[in-house]
Chain A
Amino acid sequence: MTALDQTPELLPLGIDGVLVRFATTLTEDANAHALGFRDLVQDMALVGVTEVASSLVSVRVGFDPAQTDRATVMGALRSLLEQHQTKDEGPRRLWRIPAAFGTDFAPQLGEVAGMAGLTPQQAITEIEATQVRVIAIGFAPGQPYLGMLPDHWNIPRQTELTKKLPRGALITAVRQLIIWAADAPTGWRHIGQTAFRVYRPETTQPFAFEPGDAVQFQAVSDTDFRAIKVNTDTNGGATCEVLR
Chain B
Amino acid sequence: MPTLTIHKAGPGLTVQDLGRPGWKAQGLSTGGAADPLALLESAAVLGVKPSDAVIEMMGFGGTFSMDEDMRIALTGAVMQADIDGEAVAHNTTHVLPAGAKLIIRAASKGVYGYLRFAGGIATAPIMGSRATHLTAGIGKRLEAGDTLPLGSDPDPSGAPQKLPKTDRFAGGTIRIMPGPQTDFFRKEAQRAFCAAQFRRGQSGNRQGIKLEHKGNIFGTSSGLTHVSDLIVPGDIQITGAGVSYILLAECQTIGGYPRIGNVIPADLPKIAQAPPGTPLQFQFLTLAEADATATAQTDQLHALTKSCQPLIRDPHDIADLLGYQLISGATPGDDLERP
Contacts and interface: CB of A to CB of B under 8 A. Distances in A.
Verify that A and B bind, or say they do not.
yes
Interface of A: 9, 11-17, 19, 21, 23-26, 38, 50-58, 60, 62, 64-66, 69-70, 136-143, 199, 201-202, 206-207, 209-211
B262 A137 contact: no
Given A139-B27, A141-B27, A58 B177 contact: no
Contact of B230 (A55, A69, A141, A210): A55
Given A65-B291, A65-B294, A14 B262 contact: yes
B166 interface: no
Nearest to A58: B229
Contacts of B180: 9, 11-13, 19, 21, 58
A12 B26 contact: no
B183 to A, nearest CB: 9
Given A12-B287, A141-B28, A26 B227 contact: yes
Interface stretch (B17-25, B155-163, B316-324): B17-25
A59 to B, nearest CB: 8
B26 A60 contact: no
A58 B24 CA distance: 13
26 contacts: A12-B290, A13-B180, A13-B232, A14-B179, A14-B232, A14-B265, A15-B290, A17-B232, A19-B230, A24-B227, A55-B229, A58-B230, A60-B24, A62-B21, A66-B294, A69-B291, A70-B291, A139-B254, A140-B27, A141-B23, A141-B137, A142-B26, A206-B127, A207-B23, A207-B27, A209-B26
A50 B235 CA distance: 20
Interface of B: 21-28, 126-127, 135-138, 177-180, 225-230, 232-235, 252-254, 262, 264-265, 287, 290-291, 293-294, 296, 298-299
Contacts of A69: 291
Given A23-B227, A53-B253, A66-B298, A11 B25 contact: no
Given A50-B22, A57-B229, A138 B136 contact: no
Nearest to B30: A51
A150 to B, nearest CB: 20
Contacts of A51: 21-22, 24-25
A25 B235 CA distance: 20
Contacts of A201: 126-127, 136-138
A65 B296 contact: yes
A138 B179 contact: no
A51 B234 CA distance: 18
Contacts of B227: 23-26, 56-57
Contacts of A137: 25-27, 253
Given A14-B232, A55-B228, A50 B21 contact: yes
B21 A24 contact: no
Nearest to B24: A53
Nearest to B266: A15
A25 B228 CA distance: 9
B118 to A, nearest CB: 27
Nearest to A64: B296
A66 B296 contact: yes
A80 B175 CA distance: 32
B62 to A, nearest CB: 26
Nearest to B293: A15
A54 B126 CA distance: 23
Contact of A21 (B127, B229, B287): B229
Given A55-B230, A206-B127, 6 more contacts: A53-B25, A140-B27, A141-B136, A199-B27, A202-B126, A211-B25
B25 to A, nearest CB: 4
A141 B178 CA distance: 27
Given A53-B25, A54-B25, A13 B230 contact: yes
A161 to B, nearest CB: 15
A74 to B, nearest CB: 11
Given A51-B21, A58-B230, A12 B136 contact: no
B269 to A, nearest CB: 14
A19 B231 CA distance: 10
A15 B229 contact: no
Contacts of A70: 287, 291
B230 A53 contact: yes
B80 to A, nearest CB: 35
A139 B229 contact: no
A11 B179 contact: yes
Nearest to A15: B294
Contact of A138 (B253, B262, B296): B253
A138 B138 CA distance: 16
A140 B250 CA distance: 12
Contacts of B228: 55-56, 136, 138
B28 A12 contact: no
Contacts of B291: 15, 65, 69-70
Nearest to A17: B232
Nearest to A56: B227
